[in-house]
Amino acid sequence: MLGRLLGRVAFIVMFFVVQVLSFSGLSYAESQTSLNDINRHWAEEEIKEWIGNGLISGYADRTFQPDKVIT
């Protein structure tokens, strides 16, 4: 009986942890899509999509520098 109670408590705790992490991830992705230098860039929509999917990110100064040379 105690094991069953602990299992339920563990499930509830994990559920809330997942919820908190998923919401914080969304707010991070949303904040990253408002980068200063991608407006009207030819790849703006793709950049926003890739950032939203966690594939890429911008710089700390809220820029993406889409025309910067990659080495």
Q: What's the domain count of the chain?
A: 1
Task: Name which residue leads in pLDDT, 10 or 51.
Answer: 51
Work out the average pLDDT over 27-37. Answer: 63
Q: Does residue 30 surpass a pLDDT of 70? A: no
Q: Is residue 37 part of a domain?
A: yes
**Residue-level pLDDT at 14:** 76
Asked if 66 and 37 touch (Cβ cutoff 8 Å), the reply is: yes
The mean pLDDT value of the chain amounts to 78
Q: Is 55 helix (H, G, I), strand (E, B) or coil?
A: coil
Band the pLDDT of 67: cuts 50, 70, 90. Answer: very high
The residues, ordered by sequence, that sit 6+ positions from 47 with a Cβ below 8 Å of its Cβ are: 35, 38, 41, 56, 64, 66
Mind listing the pLDDT tens digit for each residue in 48-62? Answer: 999 888 899 888 898
Q: Is residue 35 part of a domain?
A: yes
Q: Which domain holds residue 46?
A: 2-52
User: Rounded to whole angstroms, how far apart are CA atoms 42 and 3?
Assistant: 57
